């Protein structure tokens, strides 16, 4: 039997006060939509290292992991194919906030006033996170 294997992605939640960090996507799918910073796991890379790398590449921020938030595996969460995303909460260590790599913009948004055009299943991810911290 040949097995189809989903791709693994990581996403990071960075909270500052009552705000959460989002990036505006440069590429399809969901081009120009807002998303949690993150991306694909590279071969021979731990998910913990991948989320720190992806956040730096997309935001210019050096971070460290605080918490594992959850795993999201709905086969329909990404139109490119089945992905499993591991979500971490991180804190900023240092760096200058600036968009880079796959992001055209990066900004903090109030948790009570998030953009309508959130990519992937990130609206659900953020709602689940808010429920956990409330």
CA angle 60, 46, 33 (to 5 degrees): 45
- Long-range own/partner contacts, residues 70-77 (CB < 8 A, 24 or more apart): 70/125, 70/128, 72/121, 72/124, 72/125, 73/6, 74/121, 75/6, 77/120, 77/121
What Rg, from alpha-carbon coordinates, does the chain have?
14
pLDDT at 111: 96
Listed as ranges, residues in the chain with pLDDT below 50 are none
Q: Is 46 helix (H, G, I), strand (E, B) or coil?
A: coil
Asked if 12 and 36 touch (Cβ cutoff 8 Å), the reply is: yes
> Which structure tokens are listed for 78?
């990404």
pLDDT tens digits for 83-118?
999 999 999 999 999 998 889 999 999 999 999 999
- pTM of the entire structure? 0.94
d(CA 30, CA 116) in angstroms, rounded, equals: 12
pLDDT at 101: 80
What are the residue ranges spanned by the domains of the chain?
7-133
Question: 125 — phi, psi (to 5°)?
Answer: -60, -45
Among 83, 106, 72, CA closest to 29: 83
CATH class of 7-133: alpha beta
Asked if 64 and 49 touch (Cβ cutoff 8 Å), the reply is: no
């Amino acid at each position: 039997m040949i097995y189809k294997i989903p791709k693994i992605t990581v996403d990071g939640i960075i909270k500052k006060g009552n705000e959460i960090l989002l990036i505006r996507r440069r590429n399809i799918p969901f081009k120009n939509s807002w998303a949690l910073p993150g991306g694909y796991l590279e071969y021979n890379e731990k998910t913990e290292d991948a989320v720190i790398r992806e956040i730096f590449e997309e935001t210019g921020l050096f971070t460290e992991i605080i918490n594992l938030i959850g795993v999201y595996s709905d086969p329909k969460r990404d139109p490119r194919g089945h992905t499993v995303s591991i979500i971490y909460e991180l804190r900023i260590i240092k760096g200058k906030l600036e968009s880079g790599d796959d992001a055209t913009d990066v900004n903090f948004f109030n948790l009570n006033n998030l953009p309508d055009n959130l990519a992937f299943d990130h609206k659900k991810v953020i709602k689940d996170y808010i429920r956990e911290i409330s």
